[in-house]
DNA sequence: ACAATCCTTACTAAATTAGTAGGGTATTAG
DNA sequence: CTAATACCCTACTAATTTAGTAAGGATTGT
């Protein structure tokens, strides 16, 4: 388990997708504009997200990305793992005996913690965040302005 | 909140200190040997740990490091924050309006998550790990075999 | 056809992480 | 006192990761 800016970008981008899920696909250009990172870097991240089925690309005009699964089936851990390849937990594996085997228990402890952290993040789904009252408020305001646009690009059927 | 190998080194090192707290100070050389990282790098980490009062250096022959506070008053979050300076959460602050202010809510959401993560890690203290049954078992075995040696060479045995 | 958008690859620059080197300072056993 | 131990500090380097650039495809709605 590792958590860096890369993971943060991925998680916030996925939040964005979750919030606008009903309004049709979200373009990377929008996210790039919002988060202030380059389009290409986002494309790298989304390549991984797509490979793991977390997002689904929609090509052509009016296209973009949408969630690959329902928001309540996507956990924060899923996202972090998809983009932030995990840490190599032990260095003294096998060849080194770690001070006559006695001290290796700290690695066991770390694994313990790492698992707990994973479980914690795995218990938080994207859908939880949309329930946040403050988000609902803002989101509703958005809907009124965006729904007309959404009518021009109506909900595309799941062509897959 | 950020979590990298640096944080892992610090946390495992602190676990080591917590386990051997009764046996006197733990030397960086021992930890270096255990974790397979250089002494100098450890010294850099421990400089930060010392500055935040998480550890206490004991100089002279037989010296080393010990916990700066009782193990139950040191959380994993404390350690991670001490060595892994936190992520800069927002880029579009102030000058950039984040898509007319609408999309900035993802940053709010990230903060929300980040706080939850912090609280989670803050709720895990070092003393919890020592209670781990498997650790107690190994730790006890160590004590019995090493305590006599430890009495002759008070700090720790590094015989080979 | 055309433009919007995803998709892919290759390369580069900046930042961070990890490690080295070498000097110093405080402590204490003998 | 002296020497050994071990903390403390600064500066440098190498490796890795992060972030960005560039350029070109592929797909699809209008």
pLDDT in tens, B61-77: 888 899 999 999 999 99
Q: Is the sign of the CA dihedral A55, A58, A59, A64 positive or negative?
A: negative
In this model, does residue A7 exceed pLDDT 50? yes
pLDDT at B79: 92
What mean pLDDT is reported for chain A? 75
| A133 touches B at CB < 8 Å | no
Query: Which of A 80-119 lie inside 8 A of B, CB atoms?
Result: 87-89, 91-92, 96, 98-99, 102-110, 112-113, 116-117
| A124 touches B at CB < 8 Å | yes
- The predicted-structure confidence for A112-131, as pLDDT tens digits, reads as follows 888 899 999 999 999 987 77
- The predicted-structure confidence for B95-127, as pLDDT tens digits, reads as follows 344 544 455 667 778 888 888 999 999 999 999
| Nearest-by-Cβ selection for B87 from A5, A89, A116 | A5
Higher pLDDT among residues A62 and B94, named by residue: A62
Band of residue A68 on the pLDDT scale cut at 50, 70, 90 = very high
What mean pLDDT is reported for chain B? 74
Give, as ranges, the nucleotides of chain C with any atom within 7 Å of a protein CB: 3-10, 16-22, 25-29
**Cα separation, B96 vs A42, whole angstroms:** 18
**Cα separation, A133 vs A137, whole angstroms:** 6
CA neighbours within 13 Å on the CB side: how many for A99? Answer: 21
Q: Which one of A17, A103, A125, A145 makes the best mutation probe of the B interface by having the most chain B beta carbons within 10 Å?
A: A103
**Chain B partners of A132 at a C-beta cutoff of 8 Å?**
109, 112
Band of residue B88 on the pLDDT scale cut at 50, 70, 90 = low
Answer for B53: CB within 7 Å of strand D.
no
| B41 touches A at CB < 8 Å | no
Instruction: Give the least confident one: A40-49, A66-75, B38-47, B126-135.
Output: B126-135
Contact A76, B113 (CB under 8 A): yes
**Chain B partners of A116 at a C-beta cutoff of 8 Å?**
124
Q: What is the DSSP string of A78-121?
A: HHHHHHSPPP---SSSSSS-TTTTTTTHHHHHHHHHHHHHHHHH
3 state SS of A58: strand
pLDDT at B90: 58
Compute CA A148 distance to the chain's CA centroid, rounded to the nearest angstrom: 28
DSSP label at B108?
H
Contact B57, B28 (CB under 8 A): no
CA–C1' span, B153 to C30, in Å? 15
Higher pLDDT among residues A142 and A117, named by residue: A117
Contact B46, B28 (CB under 8 A): yes
B150-158 average pLDDT score: 27
- Distance in Å, alpha carbon of B45 to nearest chain A alpha carbon: 17
Contact B109, A18 (CB under 8 A): no
pLDDT at B153: 27
pLDDT at B136: 52
Answer for A91: CB within 7 Å of strand D.
no
- Inter-chain residue contact A76 with B142, CB threshold 8 Å: no
In whole angstroms, how far apart are CA A54 and each of A20, A27, A112?
15, 16, 27
**Cα separation, B123 vs B115, whole angstroms:** 12
- Distance in Å, alpha carbon of A148 to nearest chain B alpha carbon: 16
- The predicted-structure confidence for A75-96, as pLDDT tens digits, reads as follows 999 999 999 877 665 555 433 4
- Inter-chain residue contact A34 with B103, CB threshold 8 Å: yes
3 state SS of B158: coil
pTM of the model: 0.80
pLDDT at A60: 92
| A29 touches B at CB < 8 Å | no
In this model, does residue A45 exceed pLDDT 90? yes
| A39 touches B at CB < 8 Å | no
Band of residue B27 on the pLDDT scale cut at 50, 70, 90 = confident
pLDDT at A91: 53
Give, as ranges, the nucleotides of chain D with any atom within 7 Å of a protein CB: 4-11, 17-23, 26-30
pLDDT at B140: 42
Band of residue B9 on the pLDDT scale cut at 50, 70, 90 = confident
**Chain A partners of B113 at a C-beta cutoff of 8 Å?**
11, 76, 124, 129
Tokens coding A9:
């970008």
Question: How crowded is residue A16: how many other Cβ atoms within 10 Å of its Cβ?
Answer: 21
Tokens coding B37:
């990282």
């Amino acid at each position: 388990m590792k958590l860096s800016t890369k993971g943060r970008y991925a998680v916030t981008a996925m939040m964005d997708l979750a919030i606008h899920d009903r309004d049709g696909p979200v373009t990377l250009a929008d996210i790039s504009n919002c988060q202030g990172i380059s389009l290409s870097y986002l494309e790298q991240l989304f390549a991984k997200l797509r490979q793991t089925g977390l997002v689904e690309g929609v090509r052509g005009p009016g296209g973009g990305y949408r969630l690959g699964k329902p928001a309540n089936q996507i956990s924060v851990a899923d996202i972090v793992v998809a983009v932030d390849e995990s840490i190599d937990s032990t260095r003294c594996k096998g060849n080194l005996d770690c001070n006559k085997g006695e001290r290796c228990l700290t690695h066991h402890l770390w694994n313990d913690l790492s698992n707990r952290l994973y479980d914690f993040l795995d218990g938080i789904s994207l859908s939880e965040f949309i329930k946040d009252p403050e988000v609902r408020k803002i989101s509703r305001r958005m809907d009124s302005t965006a729904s007309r646009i959404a009518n021009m690009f109506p909900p595309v059927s799941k062509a897959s």
